[in-house]
Amino acid sequence: MKSKFKFVIGDIQGCYGEFKSLLKIIDPKKENKIFCVGDLVNRGPESEKVLEYVMQHNIKSVLGNHDLHMMAMILGVHKIKDKNHTLDKVLSKNKRIEAVDYFIKFPFAKELKVNDQRSLIVHAGVLPTWSLQDIHAANEELCELLKKDPEKFLSDMYSDRSKAISKSTNKRNRQRYLVNVFTRMRFLSRKNKLDLKTKTKKTHKNKYQPWFNYQHKCLKDIDNIVFGHWAALNGVTNHSNIKGIDLGCVWGGSLAAINLFDNSVITINSES
Which residues of this chain interact with Mn ion, rule CB under 5 A? Answer: 39, 64-65, 229
Q: Specify the residue, 65 or 192, whose C-beta has the smaller distance to Mn ion.
A: 65
- Sheet hosting strand 187-189, strand order edge to edge: 194-195, 187-189, 208-210
Q: Is 172 exposed, middle or buried (0-12, 13-18, 19+ CB in 10 A)?
A: middle
CB of 109 vs Mn ion, minimal distance in Å: 15
List Cα–Cα distances, 135 to 4, 13, 50, 104, 182, in angstroms: 23, 25, 28, 19, 10
- Give dist(CA 52, CA 89) in Å, integer: 12
CB of 241 vs Mn ion, minimal distance in Å: 21
Q: Specify the residue, 6 or 35, whose C-beta has the smaller distance to Mn ion.
A: 35
CB of 230 vs Mn ion, minimal distance in Å: 8
Residues shown for the chain? 272
CB of 105 vs Mn ion, minimal distance in Å: 19
- Sheet hosting strand 254-259, strand order edge to edge: 60-61, 33-36, 5-9, 254-259, 265-269
CB of 129 vs Mn ion, minimal distance in Å: 22
Residue with the shortest CB distance to Mn ion: 229
- Give dist(CA 97, CA 55) in Å, integer: 12
Q: Specify the residue, 64 or 128, whose C-beta has the smaller distance to Mn ion.
A: 64
Q: Specify the residue, 182 or 208, whose C-beta has the smaller distance to Mn ion.
A: 182
List Cα–Cα distances, 63 to 102, 109, 115, in angstroms: 11, 8, 25
Q: Specify the residue, 218 or 231, whose C-beta has the smaller distance to Mn ion.
A: 231
SS3 content of the chain, % helix, strand, coil (to 5): 35, 20, 45
Cβ atoms within 10 Å of 176's Cβ, excluding its own: 23
CB of 61 vs Mn ion, minimal distance in Å: 12
Q: Specify the residue, 114 or 181, whose C-beta has the smaller distance to Mn ion.
A: 181
